[in-house]
Amino acid sequence: MNIIVVQMADRQWTMQAMHLASAMARNTGGKVVLLHLIQIANPALLNTQLGITPPTRQEYANIDDYASVAEDYGVEVILQPMQYESYVDAIIQSVEHLKASIIFARVPESIIALWRKFQLWNMQRQLAAQKCQLYTLDQPAQISQDWTPAVTVKAAK
């Protein structure tokens, strides 16, 4: 089964990613996994109940909205919480654990532009080794007012 992971980020970005991922899952007979990353301040708390911060009311409302998007497309959606210390490692490990073929992830901006480029390159390299495609929905350098993110999906056979 084709598994498409969508990392929860800000609401607008995640809604766009959910629409694209749900359309892709519908066309390929896959399912969508909504990845809720929880940053841990103390590495000793990884994989313990002490390190889990429950979602806020707003996050619960957003999760319901994201699930509604997948439901509208007729695809299964699963919520997967994951604790992490390193963001890039968390993305790579989530793909490995879920055996995903596609991941929508928001790579945080950095004060040092080259650092973000390196992180993207490193993620793409590691994900390619797992036969997984990374989509970031980054906007082009020349932003027009009507730009919307898009992914080309081949028709299912």
Q: Between 105 and 47, where is the model more confident?
A: 105
> Domain map of the chain by residue range?
3-135
Q: What is the pLDDT of residues 20-47, one digit of tens each?
A: 999 999 999 999 999 998 887 666 666 6
- Dist CA 66 CA 126 (whole Å): 27
E strand or H helix that includes residue 79: strand 77-84
Architecture of domain 3-135: 3-Layer(aba) Sandwich (3.40)
Which pLDDT value is given to residue 157? 59
**Model-wide pTM > 0.85:** no
